[in-house]
Amino acid sequence: MESELWRNSATQLARMIRDREVSSREVVESHLKRIEVVNPRVNAVTVVLEASALSAADDADRRPPAGPLHGVPFTIKENLDCLGSATTQGLHAMVDAMPTLDAPAVARMKSAGAIPLARTNMPEMGLRITTDNVLRGRTLNPWVPTRTAGGSSGGEGAALATGMTPIGLGNDIGGSLRNPAYCCGITSLKPTTGRIPHASTLPPLDFNLSAQMMCVDGPMARHVEDLQLAYQLLAGRDPRDPFSVAAPLQGPPPQNKRVALVTAIPGATLSDSALTAIRRAGAELSAQGWQLEEVAPPELERVNELWGNLLGVDITQMLPVIGQVMSESAVALLHRLTSAFNPESMPSLVLHTERARLMRTWSEFFQDYPLVIGPTWTDIPFLHDADLDPEGGYEMMLKQLLFITPGNLLGIPAVALPMGVANGLPTGIQIYADLWREDLCLHAAAQIEKAVGQVCPIDPVS
């Protein structure tokens, strides 16, 4: 049994440990062995916390089960503080950057009884949608190793997809929870901005404007039930994050049971596999009494324009500093990206007024369509370093994100959900709902998953 424990969900493992079917040590050892076997083939895990994880597992086995994740291992992206390991941000310059406190999300997982197992890979400063850096190397997509595993939480995505961890933590300012979920065939929750607190003990302690308004931490897993559990554990106010709030986890039943299916994205042509996934998801909800309509949400092109300007202004101001510790190729990409957005064409007053208008417009749209289902990326995962191509790499990257950006600019919640496999790669959808309605996203995802099932864990494809 031990060798197969890594196949289980975090929720299943917690129940087995609670019922004394298995020990926490057996669960941790199973995942450590899985890391040893498969990580060399994908390079998703960067640091294994073996000694501390086994010690914590033994301690968990000596005590009566306490929290909902008692004795269950979890993994943590390298830009989230976890006591005892460096928060490297994927940089050589931060290889010894040791935090003095856990990040709020890490602390809450520990309070629920979960055990830090390993750190996972990311791009430099989290500023690419693929996962590669000079310090740790490249993470490979376990389905097709020549293609990206997504980013910036790509190490988490690949680790989950291959069974090295049952649940993990990442973050998202431009799809960094959802991009790897799509590329690797797992699921993730991008919460409402402010739902899950985000803080660090390493400078800068106070985040730039785009991070304050758009960046969130969130859970990644193979099973929606794990996202549902993590959502309850991670949500809530923390004084270290002045923008975090304590809001109800559940809302009232929607007045309209209507789903907007987004089958056309301005500026992109969706693949047949994407359209099939979207319509199948809709059909599963239709069977549950939802009415379907193929309709475009408001002003997607304007949403992308504002997202690019909000992020681009901050990156432009940060580049003189971060450019000194990042690779030349990554810095060149950021220069090309920021050149696509002209701050002079969108003054601060216009940017923030327009953002408020779009937030209001989308919230009104959600009154008619409480659920919106569309693609995650507009195309299949790209070949490694295609985003660095000076001849169109950043345009390709921006095109992939055309339906990702509403979640960040508008702060709305989203679940990325796998929908099967086509031509050797996982397919997937994205489920949006109004601010603070993660419960609607998760409930819909659970209904769809019940019919579709999971596609992971898998052994990495050579």
- Where in the sequence numbering do the catalytic residues fall? 77, 152, 176
309-333 as b/e, with b when 16 or more CB fall inside 10 Å? bbbbbbbbebeeebeeebbeebbbb
**Residue that the structure tokens 């193979």 belong to:** 222
Find how far residue 258's CA is from the centre of its chain: 26
Structure tokens at 431: 């489920």
| Largest interatomic CA distance in the chain | 63
> Is 378 in contact with 400 (CB distance < 8 Å)?
yes
Q: Which of 441, 389, 394 is nearest to 413 (CA)?
A: 441
The DSSP secondary-structure symbol of 403 reads T
Q: How far is CA 205 from CA 49, 78, 211, 441, in A?
A: 26, 16, 12, 31
Inter-helix orientation angle 328-339/300-322, to 10°: 140
Measured distance CA(361)–CA(193) in Å, rounded? 17
> Is 412 in contact with 362 (CB distance < 8 Å)?
yes
